[in-house]
Structure 1
Amino acid sequence: MLPIQRRQVISEYLAHHGGASIKDFSIQFGVSEMTIRRDLELLEQQGLVARSHGGAIYIDKLIGEPALPEKQSRNPEVKERLAAYAAERFVSDGDVLIVEGGTTVSRMAAYLKHAHLTLMTNGMDALQQLRDVAGTHTVLCCGGVLREPSGTFVGPVAEAFFSQYHARTAFLSSLSFTIEAGFTDPNMMDTQVKKTMIQSATRTIMLLDSSKIGSRSFATVAQLNEVSVLITDAGVNEQVREACELADVELHVV
């Protein structure tokens, strides 16, 4: 078993049982107690566990949904950099793209200097920014129920819209990410639309600033191995780097 796999099992065990001793893990995995201590230290750095005398306990960092203005104001420089890189590196003339309504992905609109794109979105913020390129590209927006906290259209109408089209690439983001839970969001209606986007695209590219790593939200959008590319910043930790390699996910640090 690889070290990253062992740490995943340790984290999952602690999540289900609350705590355990270093000695128990050492016996279970057939490794030294020093090795387990190093594993727990790395998991503690991710914010998943808290080490105690002779063992560790699980920290449940379930993140709620901040207001839209707060989302928009978080790490704007990093989000801008990720969006610019995604548009330059992963978009070609004539592409059919899904651009979800998150505050990171919607920033891609300013960098779409390509020809004859077809752009589909479910976000009011994204739609407003895509308005500036509507004369050059074809822009489509789904209907549905508008969620005020996210500024996105959700529900069966939105899901049906994306299920009837086929895109080359879906550009997505999420509020939180852990290796164990994957990419997660606070609202399951939002996650259901994103799942449909993933199913409708040949590949999925995640834009995620590193501050979101190590926390979990309510509902899973996708596991790491369900995406093709992860674009993040230099704050990404070694565990996520190893997980991407193990899952055969392209990691781009910008």
Structure 2
Amino acid sequence: MYPAERQAAIIAAAHEDDGALSVTALSRDLGVTAETIRRDLAVLERQGAIVRTHGGARLTPGMPFELSLAKRQAAEADEKRRIAVRAVEEIPTDGVLLLDSGSLALVTASVFPDLSIIVVTNNLPAIPVLAERANISVMALPGRVRPISQGAVDEWTRHRLSTLNVDLVLLGANGLTADAVTTTIPDEAEVKRAMLLSAKRRVLTITASKIGISSFCHVADTDELDMIITDDRIRSEMRDSLHAAGPDIIVV
């Protein structure tokens, strides 16, 4: 088992056990030494996913549990498809689009029209989907792949993004309030922030179940967005609050 796979298994184990982790139990269950587990925990702590404790670790306080990409793909499928279909209407002709990682972005890739555009993405599962379109040029961002989202998120990713100037970003998030766009770990927040800063237009695609939630790490103020596309489960008062912050609100 590679380190990234082992670290994903550690986070999965925490989700199954109320956020608590034991070095001894992980060593036994994963068939590696306690020292190997401690190194994995150190990596996950630097990513902001866990906090070390005596004899183990626990999930970072206030950070919502994240499901695997496969499980998120199955959840809210109808809402995600409606959001995705509306989102592709914003794609510029003969332009450059930046596509975020995550399950909603992957659904969006699946409904892309075959336009003559460049798509830059850190979303590894979306790359072969987009590459099937003859007229789309796909550029993959470099970097360490986060197993749970299958997106590239590290300093290599951020550095490449800092050199880009794109027409539109389709961004995802784990939480949205009238004040802020948020996500779960610092590395991912920094990559999303770099995406936002590289784009002329900034569109957030998000299911209504994540609206009103504040996740662990700040990505952007809500008034930095040009548009939010969500589904019709959004509460009317939250829609009004988001609109008052500045972005256009599209409900599908």
Compute the TM-score of the two structures, normalised by the length of structure 1: 0.71
C-alpha RMSD of matched pairs (Å): 1.6
Deviating 4+ runs (over 3 angstroms) = none
Q: 2:222–2:246: 8 Å Cα contact kept in structure 1?
A: no
Q: After TM superposition, list the pairs within 5 Å mapping 1:1-254 onto structure 2.
A: 62-87=63-88, 89-133=89-133, 135-180=134-179, 182-254=180-252
Aligned partner of 2:122: which letter?
A: N
Q: 1:177–1:213: 8 Å Cα contact kept in structure 2?
A: yes
1:13-36, Cα deviation, whole Å (9 max, x unpaired): xxxxxxxxxxxxxxxxxxxxxxxx
Structure 1 alignment gaps of length 5 or more: 1-59
Of residues 89-98 and 235-244 in structure 1, the stretch that sits farther from structure 2 once superposed is 235-244
Taking a change above 3 Å as real, the CA distance of residues 62 and 142 of structure 1, as seen in their structure-2 partners, is: closer
Compute the TM-score of the two structures, normalised by the length of structure 2: 0.72
1:38 paired residue number: none
Calculate percent identity across the aligned residue pairs: 24
SS in 1 for 2:132: helix
Q: CA deviation at 1:85?
A: 0.8
1:31-88, Cα deviation, whole Å (9 max, x unpaired): xxxxxxxxxxxxxxxxxxxxxxxxxxxxx9641322222221210111111011111x
Looking at structure 1, the residues matched to 92 and 114 of structure 2 have their Cα atoms a distance apart, in angstroms, of: 7
Aligned length: 192
Looking at structure 2, the residues matched to 210 and 248 of structure 1 have their Cα atoms a distance apart, in angstroms, of: 18
Structure 2 alignment gaps of length 5 or more: 1-60
Looking at structure 2, the residues matched to 175 and 78 of structure 1 have their Cα atoms a distance apart, in angstroms, of: 16
Q: 1:102–1:172: 8 Å Cα contact kept in structure 2?
A: no
SS in 2 for 1:124: coil
Looking at structure 1, the residues matched to 138 and 185 of structure 2 have their Cα atoms a distance apart, in angstroms, of: 26
SS in 1 for 2:93: coil
SS in 2 for 1:140: strand
Select the structure of larger CA radius of gyration. 1
Aligned partner of 2:126: which letter?
A: A
1:37 paired residue number: none
